[in-house]
Structure 1
């Protein structure tokens, strides 16, 4: 699971940087690399970033000290 967690977090960071570039400069790196939004490559990248965001919801169960609140249950 550690590999999936790191991959999801990496994709989520890439997605955040992507949105930063769009917001600041109007530059869409994904569409530049993979074509317009109707192309399959672009859609797959967006789907992977969205799934990564959903996967990272589980981090809400961690405390600021790095431990899980569910450990003692």
Structure 2
């Protein structure tokens, strides 16, 4: 998997996590818990994956800045 595909995958997963947090904040509705149950192993993996993707996207800032310097 190239870096661009990984970037888009991480971005999509982080956006899904952001939508879930928006649903929790506005409507007290947790989509992940609704779909997979209350903190079963699948739910914990999903939360961990969203967190890892969010941390990975921090590297995007450095790469965007480096790309801007090349132009």
Normalising TM by the smaller chain, what interval? 0.7 to 0.9
Structure 1, unmatched stretches of 5+, are none
**Residue in 1 that maps onto 2:67:** 67
Matches within 5 A, 1:1-73: 1-37=3-39, 39-61=40-62, 62-63=64-65, 67-69=67-69, 71=70
Where do 4+ consecutive residues of structure 1 move more than 6 Å?
none
Number of aligned residues: 68
Structure 2, unmatched stretches of 5+, are none
Report the Cα offset of residue 68 of structure 1.
3.8
Output the TM-score relative to the length of structure 2: 0.85
Report the Cα offset of residue 67 of structure 1.
2.8
- Between 1 and 2, higher relative CO (CA 8 Å, sep ≥ 6) is seen in 2
